Structure 1
């Protein structure tokens, strides 16, 4: 899939993280179609927008990324998910990998890591 055609949804409670991701992705020609600050509103937005890729934080208020991840996988099986987290706990990472994520990015991150990881996932989307 061409990056300009890839619809990306950002779900992260940190305003700065979302802004940095949005700026990096848009500068590379990606289409950031929405943003949410917690898992509940993120899931609602995902069902409405049906993005190609969701960049999902693990630790968020109300409903965490690990709580909505199985629902995203069930309700939107064609949507790719990249976890974006500062959580380096191996048990948590192993848990989300088992649910079928397509990769993860550890915070703090740099622009090139985001660009490379997103390009790798978007390049495998067939539409």
Structure 2
């Protein structure tokens, strides 16, 4: 009969572990979503930079600010786009590091859940034999 309280304790433990695992999985999904947005922005900005590089030095470049198109210097436009590309690339690198950490946490949480499941199974098997 001492197995019943131990079993309840293990079930509470597995619920806690599963909840923590679920949270980490949600964080991973969120990271993937943000990374996807940054990847799209990076592609768009690289395309803009290619287009700006094609232009001759005297070309007119306009920047959309709200509902208004403002004339912008070509060199300034190129510099702004390059800065944006640097920023996005740095964010992607940061997100990759965060993702590796989250995947490590996910693996450890999965192992913890598996160990508790094995303990529950062993306890139930031992209980049914007696």
When normalised by structure 1's length, the TM-score is 0.22
Higher helix share: 2
Higher strand share: 1
When normalised by structure 2's length, the TM-score is 0.21
If asked which structure has higher relative contact order (CA below 8 Å, sep 6+), I would say: 2
- The structure whose Rg is larger is 2
